[in-house]
Structure 1
Amino acid sequence: MEKAFTLVQITDPHLHASSEGTLLGMNTEDSLKLIVKRVQEEVSNIDLILATGDIAQDSSVGAYENFVSFVEPLKAPMRWIPGNHDNRENMATVAQGTDYANAITELGNWVVVMLDSVVPKKVYGSLAQDQLDTLKQALEQFTDKYILIAFHHHPVSMKSQWIDKIGVKNSDELQKIIAPYNNIRAIVCGHVHQASDVVINGFRYISTPSTCVQFLPESKDFGIDSSGPGYRTLTLNPNGEIDTHVSRIEGVDFKIDYTQQGY
């Protein structure tokens, strides 16, 4: 019998080398550890962890080493991609000898394609030609499998003026590549620190809360939301359907600086 695969998306932890590190007042190490504990309580048998960027806030080797050690109790394979706060070289140093950076992962009749949407020294994203080529090759090679695509920046509008300026700048190129393929089941991202799940032009776009501070949805200017840290499970079913659920930490009084005007 064909099996379903359980993925856990962990995104935007914004870790530091120091355990005292914060983002907008929240201790990011503490919040990630609470998320990992929650995953352990709620999800058994994880087939793959998707870590979709902004793993570090300070870009340090120490932060990536911390991340690896914090998710290790989940006892699951992991794939990671950088976000705009990350340092590719330091991630590569920590990933040496692992398969964390593999772009293509086959899971039964599913294929997960992880792309790098980072533009060095910019907050917005773009899918460079080599990333678009990786996607094209995967789509041409795996026409008989269901496809899940993941990268850090959002490729569609979040109806939020400030955040839509820092999404994927060449989303139109992405749309042209994916348009002919009806086996693409979802495109998932991080970056926006909020949950969304929409279908646009026949394609499903999913974003996932940060494991630390959340951003106010559909807001013209930068704003911090009071929702708790979260993660997402994605169940890839053998018939091509995806069941997905966001779980959040509630009832914990996190220290957050709501006066901040940006991050």
Structure 2
Amino acid sequence: MYSLDSDDTLRLVQITDTHLNGPEDGHLLGMKTLHSMRCVLDVVRTERTQIDAILVTGDLSQDGTETAYQHLHDALIPFQCPVFWFEGNHDQPEPMQAVASGTEHLNRIIRTQHWQLILLNSQVEGAVYGRLKKDQLDLMEKALKERPDLHTLISFHHHPISMGSAWIDRIGVKNGDEFCSLIRQYDNVRAVLWGHVHQESDQMIHGVRFMSTPSTCVQFTPGSEDFSVDSLPPGYRWIDLHADGRLETGVSRVEGIEFEIDYSVKGY
């Protein structure tokens, strides 16, 4: 458990699906992912003058190399705030943990005076889809029961609800219904946040805010039946968590930069 100091508002930045490679010019679908992430971080610097923590919500690396995770770690040092990571389907736990050793990156429960963040691992080794295993659901329920007084945001990589896109919905959290049923038993869950889908969404379900966020590299077309790459630029999400449980959030994207994308590729 990690204790995080903040005032009455906890100010978060979420970046996701950075898909970094060991080589600095490594790419995903033609887009150089280290360059596109740096462009997103430049927007963050301009827009967010105060950041209490940064969440990096999976698929940190495309090639699973230690060097890729080091690129991410080094890029976020200048923000001088805690940074928390967890696994996506493309990530390799051992090199990820090697770079995170001695840092706060892999803490799963983060608490402030008014809020707690519960960060779970939805990775299934060797699979693109996700699942929240029993130990992860147990961790979540333990934290919720321990501090019913804290407003709670839960985050993991894969999407727990339908995105309305046939190919994407085949690779979400396989036990999303179980997860959603569990959190409805706790009055302090305010929000669920994920990556994986490379697109923005935001909806309220049974009083809980469910949100996905653009990738810092290539975007996927919302509502598509088959794999489809969107022309929207990279982006990030900011989230302000207030002491009374209110949540304010928005998505910002890189503007004025052309990124090279190979639209002919039919998978990632």
TM-score (normalizing by structure 1): 0.98
Count of residue correspondences = 263
User: Who is 2:122 aligned against?
Assistant: 117
* Farther off after superposition, 194-203 or 1-10: 1-10
Of 124, 130, 133 in structure 1, the residue corresponding to residue 135 of structure 2 is 130
| Pair 1:84 & 2:94 matched | no
Whole-Å separation in 2 of the counterparts to 1:82 and 1:63: 14
The one-character-per-residue Cα deviations of 1:7-62 (angstroms, maximum 9, x if unpaired) are 00010010001011000000001001111111111101210100000000001100
Question: What CA RMSD, in Å, does the superposition of the two structures yield over aligned residues?
Answer: 1.1
- Match for 1:244: what amino acid? T
User: Who is 1:151 aligned against?
Assistant: 156
User: Who is 2:57 aligned against?
Assistant: 52
Of 31, 35, 39 in structure 2, the residue corresponding to residue 34 of structure 1 is 39
- Match for 1:137: what amino acid? K
User: Who is 2:3 aligned against?
Assistant: none
TM-score (normalizing by structure 2): 0.96
CA contact (8 A) 1:216 1:224 kept: yes
User: Who is 1:3 aligned against?
Assistant: 8
Question: Please, which runs of 5 or more residues in structure 2 have no aligned partner?
Answer: 1-5
Q: Percent identity?
A: 48
Whole-Å separation in 1 of the counterparts to 2:251 and 2:70: 26
User: Who is 1:176 aligned against?
Assistant: 181
The Cα shift of 1:172 comes to 1.9
Q: Show the 5 A alignment for 1:177-196.
A: 177-196=182-201
CA contact (8 A) 2:131 2:174 kept: yes
| Pair 1:94 & 2:112 matched | no
| Pair 1:219 & 2:230 matched | no
Q: Which segments of structure 1 move beyond 3 Å, counting only runs of 4 or more?
A: none
Of 240, 259, 262 in structure 2, the residue corresponding to residue 257 of structure 1 is 262
Whole-Å separation in 2 of the counterparts to 1:40 and 1:141: 35
CA contact (8 A) 2:8 2:114 kept: no
- Match for 1:189: what amino acid? W
